[in-house]
Chains A and B, each alone.
Chain A
Amino acid sequence: MSKQATRVTVNGKPHARVVDARLTLADFLRHELGLTGTHLGCEHGVCGACTVLVDGRSTRACLMFAVQANGCEVTTVEGLTPDSGLSVLQQAFVDNHGLQCGFCTPGMLVTLTELLRDNADPSELEVREALTGNLCRCTGYAGIVAAALDAAQRLRNGSGS
């Protein structure tokens, strides 16, 4: 029973696999499904780079086994991205220098997607608090916070641009 069947819907597409029970959801996404947008920094739940949405809730994919996601809906950074171009939040990151090396960016985008879904008009403090679980070593966070606030405003205006 160290091998186990798991059925996970990822970015709207169902996948059924038989996997090692010890395979983390992050490695499942990257190695089984080839969705390498989900990054792995620390593999022990500190850096937040591997954050994905599991049934709509931000989750560290390195701290969850793929077998635990059986029956769940998972959204990765690939699922946040439109077929062409960038999402409002992604474009706001570009416009506000919200990324440099880009390693932490998938986790940042997933975390902020959850925040902006639940809170259309967050304060700077609320944005910073939401981001405490995501480490960035390039930007000093200022650009990321600005991007989040900018995206919130664009989404409220409904312009999307």
Chain B
Amino acid sequence: MKPAPFDYHAPRQLEEAAELLASLPNAKILAGGQSLVPMMNFRYVIVDHLVDLGGVDDLRGIAVGDGWLRIGAMMRQRDLEVSPEIAKHCPLMAEALRHVGHRQTRNRGTIGGSLAHADPAAELPAVCAAYDAVVHLASIRGIRSVPFGEFSAGYMATVLAPDEMIAAIELPIWRLGHGHGFHEFARRRGDFALAGAAALLDVGAGGVVRRAALALFGVAAQPLRLDAAEATLTGKVPDAASIHSAAAAAWLVEPISDIHASGDYRRHLAQVLSARALADAARRAGVEV
């Protein structure tokens, strides 16, 4: 249960980090280490070089602009959980973070690390999917920006090149007063969820849904947006029946079966949790359902 030997690098500047990643063979980025270090302790992962981004100030901070929120990749999950900016502009993320691991792991774990690790049952990728986030990737070639829908490359894989790092995550801000809902089912608090749902509803005059987003996680290799559910709700006043029929779109997903749960059970959970998340979002947007 001890990691294999490696060389440790602690760059202070983004450019320095990019240079190290471009030049070092078999290097891996150390962000919060809450997924990587267990894998290193088990020797599932053996690296020659570890590039610790903990000292790179450019990768921290939260900035709010006109219609967008930008989060540095090395922001700790706990800092986001208690951030007034996140609570105001991105309440879905604040709620989701309470389900991420435990306080001790959120104190170290980062948003960039969570996205790069890309566990199918992770909460933060689902939030990014719901918000149509853009991921900014940095390397010696400069910055490239990838819409979150194109960021995944399958099970626990992303389009990150070996010498690239996530620099920041940009979320389009929904109108103040939009509703959010987040539900997951895990056997124990802090465990990886068997399935979960993240919902956003923007409700306009007369309670009519102007915009809807529903993302599922834990049911496929990457977070899934349920376009059919979003279309069912948009343009109408949500009620129990329309939420039930929107959530029924989750019956179409074909989740993985494994030792933790069968695909059928996950599909059932996805439907139930979608309905709960949408109902919470509607209520928080001011519509009683």
Query: Which parts of A112-136 form the interface with B (CB within 8 Å)?
Result: 114, 129-130, 132-133
Which among B1-9, B161-169, B228-236 touches the partner chain? B1-9
Query: Which parts of B1-26 form the interface with A (CB within 8 Å)?
Result: 1-10
Residue numbers of B with Cβ under 8 A of A are 1-10, 30, 33-34, 37-38, 40-42, 50, 52, 54, 78, 101-105, 107-108, 188-190
**Interchain CB contact under 8 A, B188 and A132:** yes
In the complex the two chains form, what is the Cα distance from A41 to B189 in whole Å?
A: 19
Interface of A is mostly: mixed
Choose one: B7, B8, B9, B41; the contact of A44 (CB below 8 Å).
B41
In the complex the two chains form, what is the Cα distance from A25 to B42 in whole Å?
A: 17
Contacts of B108 in A (CB 8 A): 59-60, 63-64
Contacts of A150 in B (CB 8 A): none
Please, could you name 9 A-B residue pairs with CB atoms under 8 Å apart, sorted by A?
A1-B7, A21-B5, A45-B34, A54-B107, A63-B34, A63-B38, A64-B108, A68-B30, A111-B104
Contacts of B103 in A (CB 8 A): 58, 111, 114, 130, 133
In the complex the two chains form, what is the Cα distance from A114 to B103 in whole Å?
A: 10
Choose one: B3, B42, B189; the contact of A129 (CB below 8 Å).
B189
One digit per residue, 1 when the CB lies within 8 angstroms of any chain B CB and 0 when it does not, for chain A 40-73 equals: 0001110010010010011110111101101000
Residue numbers of A with Cβ under 8 A of B are 1-2, 4, 20-22, 24, 27, 43-45, 48, 51, 54, 57-60, 62-65, 67-68, 70, 111, 114, 129-130, 132-133
Min Cβ gap A53→B in Å is: 9
**Interchain CB contact under 8 A, B54 and A22:** no
